[in-house]
Chain A
Amino acid sequence: MTVVAAAPYRFPVADVRENFPAPLLYIGWDQHLMFCAPFCLPLPPDLPFDALLTQVLPGIYGAHPDFARIDWDQAQWTKAGQPWRPDRAKSLAENGLGHKDAIHFRTPGLNGIAGSCS
């Protein structure tokens, strides 16, 4: 379906890849809603997935008492609503992550502050 308009209706897409210094990646940590929403991060496509876990995420999730206890080998990932297995040794792009992809992970056994999923 399209917009019903009195005249031709075409406007540029505001958030195409070219408008950003790096592709955007959205990332969320399930059952840790102390962080009110998933994050939006511009990240170079050649960044190794392992570096995302060990260098980027501590800066954004490190304030949570569960973070230090994460066993990344046990983390369960979801991408576009489907279970997904990233390869830590490969880059974001090699893992198939492109501009404005959304991924989120669950850390079994770690259920937030006092088990409240916070």
Chain B
Amino acid sequence: MDTRVARKKLGLKERYAAMTRGLGWETSYQPMDKVFPYDRYEGLKIHDWDQWQDPFRLTMDAYWKYQGEKEKKLYAVIEAFAQNNGQLGVADARYVNALKLFIQGVTPLEYYAHRGFAHVGRQFTGEGARVAAQMQSIDELRHYQTETHAISHYNKYFNGMHSPNHWFDRVWYLSVPKSFFEDACTAGPFEFLTAVSFSFEYVLTNLLFVPFMSGAAHNGDMSTVTFGFSAQSDESRHMTLGIECIKFMLEQDPDNVPIVQRWIDKWFWRGYRLLTLVAMMQDYMLPKRVMSWKEAWEMYAESNGGALFKDLARYGIREPKGWKDACEGKDHISHQAWNTFYNYAAAAPFHTWVPKDDELQWLSEKYPNTFDALYRPRLEYYRGQQEQGQRFYNKTLPMLCQTCQIPMLFTEPGDATQIAYRESSYLGDKFHFCSDHCKEIFDHEPEKYVQAWLPVHQIYQGHCFKPGVDPTAPGFDPLAAVLDYYELNVGRDNFDFEGSEDQKNFAAWRGDGTHNASGEQA
């Protein structure tokens, strides 16, 4: 019998090198540029891809093992949550609207991120970056799946969750997150990394995940907390990847600095505008509040982000152009966004409401300089109208910003009583914007944004009706036709929370736990 010879085990460093740097491909009978057409045309100069250092030194085999363990834990919790009727443990059925917003507007972005990173992972010639991007691509697909699985349990009991993929491509406000990612995925690979890895994941992700997941914990939704924790460990890796890729680009060549700065300016602003939805969720949709949007902005953006941009100053990078305006917006955007959804609650598959008195008080305390003067009177007026049976629904379509696609709800820097109007002309057509920064993004690349699928304009062009619908027929109701195209269950998914099926069902289920149902013997 031969003596068994133990093969020498590779050390961590060698193993990492073998599992990443050994995977490169130098083409022989085709030019590299033909096989990898995308990693040069943006003008970014890369002299040495080996300078890319993966922050986590994670190899694919370790990755499978680690993620497999997390999956087991996650699905055990989801299963237990379902078996124990965890949906009854949430603070209030209003909370579930935050989950609706998540499954409608955030989860599809995970899928877009998966696609984007898969593309980048194929196109970069540097092996370290390719492996990191491929692993992130798988993470993002996992996030899409685990979020969908966790929230699918709520879909059995609550409205507004039945068709998130259908809605993502059609419903008006979902064009905001959709256009963000389509803009990123159709940019070059380095711009994509700046947009998603750096601006979104590194600078802004805490503002997205912390409120949602802490909000879930505060409101008794342990299923969401669990997928949040599962995703958060990946997010840490993604954030580190984000800062690594920025530093890599900046260190490779000084000519890269102005290109990267422009991308940071653009993507910080686009990401900030997208997070308007989160600001509103945080201040209005959580029955038990965690912290105000303003407090979150001060902690995660002004304090952490401020330090980040001081750190990047040594490369010649300054804070994004929209930074000051974004900081001023912390006092306003959540109120302005909630008002928009209150206006258009007939056309959105989630509910809105006027906050209760203690909630108005909380908002007054958190926003002492703005809430009582500007926003409270409007909410109290709505409540009075609602009590008289005249709940205000805005039925006319709003003007949208050509770049961020948000209704033109934002006010002038320095004057929160005046809507900001900005305008550009391109090839004889006029285009409108909510801010200087959205205008600047357009002016730099008008060809990209003139093709924007603006929901309001698409409705007026007749593209948002089901096939066979005749808009010229007598008695045609355009709003009803659009909601039918959305596949929104009118009267169940939409309108005010007061009087909704969600409200009534939840009260009845909760009552069943403390009282005998009617007709039952005591």
CB distance from A28 to the nearest CB of B (A): 6
Main secondary structure of the interface of B (DSSP, over half): mixed
A24 within 8 A of B: yes
When the two chains form their complex, are residues B377 and A40 in contact, meaning their CB atoms are under 8 A apart? no
Tally inter-chain residue pairs, CB-CB below 8 A. Answer: 151
Chain A residues with a Cβ under 8 A of chain B: 1-6, 9-16, 19-21, 24, 26, 28, 30-31, 33-42, 59-60, 63, 78, 80-81, 98-102, 104, 112-118
When the two chains form their complex, are residues B457 and A113 in contact, meaning their CB atoms are under 8 A apart? no
B518 within 8 A of A: no
CB distance from A114 to the nearest CB of B (A): 4
- B interface, size bucket: 35 or more
Contact residues in A for B37 (Cβ distance below 8 Å): 6
Alpha-carbon distance A59/B421, docked complex (angstroms): 23
CB distance from A4 to the nearest CB of B (A): 6
Chain B residues with a Cβ under 8 A of chain A: 37-38, 41-43, 188, 336, 339-340, 342-344, 373-378, 381, 392, 394-400, 407-409, 411, 417-419, 421, 423, 427, 429-432, 443-445, 447-448, 450-454, 456-457, 460-462
Alpha-carbon distance A98/B428, docked complex (angstroms): 11
| CB-nearest residue of chain A to B382 | A34
Known: A36-B394, A100-B430. A20 touches B460 (CB 8 A): yes
Known: A37-B407, A37-B408. A100 touches B432 (CB 8 A): yes
Contact residues in A for B339 (Cβ distance below 8 Å): 33-34, 36
Which residue of A1, A5, A36, A59 is within 8 Å of B336 (Cβ)?
A: A36
When the two chains form their complex, are residues A39 and B445 in contact, meaning their CB atoms are under 8 A apart? no
Known: A30-B419, A100-B432. A21 touches B381 (CB 8 A): no
When the two chains form their complex, are residues B392 and A63 in contact, meaning their CB atoms are under 8 A apart? yes
When the two chains form their complex, are residues B392 and A1 in contact, meaning their CB atoms are under 8 A apart? no
Known: A14-B452, A21-B460. A33 touches B432 (CB 8 A): no
When the two chains form their complex, are residues B423 and A36 in contact, meaning their CB atoms are under 8 A apart? no
Contact residues in B for A39 (Cβ distance below 8 Å): 396-399
Contact residues in A for B443 (Cβ distance below 8 Å): 1
| CB-nearest residue of chain A to B338 | A36
Known: A37-B398, A102-B399. A13 touches B429 (CB 8 A): yes
Contact residues in A for B408 (Cβ distance below 8 Å): 28, 37-38
CB distance from A65 to the nearest CB of B (A): 8
Contact residues in B for A42 (Cβ distance below 8 Å): 460
Which residue of A19, A33, A114 is within 8 Å of B461 (Cβ)?
A: A19
When the two chains form their complex, are residues A37 and B417 in contact, meaning their CB atoms are under 8 A apart? no
When the two chains form their complex, are residues A37 and B340 in contact, meaning their CB atoms are under 8 A apart? yes
When the two chains form their complex, are residues A36 and B461 in contact, meaning their CB atoms are under 8 A apart? no
When the two chains form their complex, are residues A81 and B397 in contact, meaning their CB atoms are under 8 A apart? no
Alpha-carbon distance A11/B407, docked complex (angstroms): 24
Which residue of B343, B377, B451, B461 is within 8 Å of A12 (Cβ)?
A: B451
Most buried by A among B43, B397, B444: B397
Task: Write 16 A-B pairs (CB below 8 A) sorted by A numbering.
Answer: A3-B445, A4-B188, A6-B38, A19-B457, A33-B339, A34-B392, A36-B343, A38-B398, A39-B397, A39-B398, A40-B460, A59-B396, A60-B395, A100-B431, A100-B432, A102-B430
